[in-house]
Copies of this chain bind each other. A is one copy, B any other.
Amino acid sequence: MTGKPRDGGRKGFTDRELDIMSVLWREGSGTVAEVRDALDGDVGYTTVLKMLQILEEKGAVGHEREGRAYRYVPLVASASAGGRALRRIVNKIFHGSAEMLLATLVEDRDFSDEEIKRMRSVLDRAERGRGEK
C-alpha cells in the first residue's frame, strides 16, 4: 500500500473518477486492465492507470502487488461517498428538503410496487430505530 492523501477525499469525485470508483465498489477490487474492461467506452490503458494513481494520491483507493500488476481496492466506502453527495444535493438543490429530493427521485423514474414497498420499509426502520443509540 502507498499513497499520502492530497486532499483527504473531502471533496466529491469528478465524473471520470466516479466511473472508476463505481467499478471498484461493484467488483470489490480491480487491476488496471479489469477496470478498463469494465468501463463503458474505450479508454486508454494509461488513462485508467493515471486516474487510479490520482485517486490513490487522494486516498480514495490503495493498491497491492498481484503478480506483475497492481490490484486496486477502494478505501472510501460507497455509502460514505453517497452520503456526502446526497448532502450536497439536498442542501444546494433542494434547499434542505429531503422530501423534495424523494419526490424528484420517484417522479423521475417509474418504480415498481416492490421497490416502493422496500423504500417504505426503509422509512419504517428509520422511525423505529431512532432514539436508541
B-contact bits for A79-93, CB 8 A (1 contact / 0 none): 101110111111111
Copies of the protein in its oligomer? 2
B-contact bits for A93-118, CB 8 A (1 contact / 0 none): 11100111111111111110101101
Q: Which of A87, A115, A122 has the most chain B CB within a 10 Å cutoff?
A: A122
Interface residues of A, CB < 8 Å — how many?
50
* Inter-subunit contact B85/A110 (CB<8 Å): no
Interchain CA distance A122-B94 in the complex, whole Å: 15
B-binding segment of A18-26, A30-38, A49-57, A59-67: A18-26
Tell me the minimal C-beta distance from A31 to chain B in angstroms: 20
Interchain CA distance A121-B91 in the complex, whole Å: 21
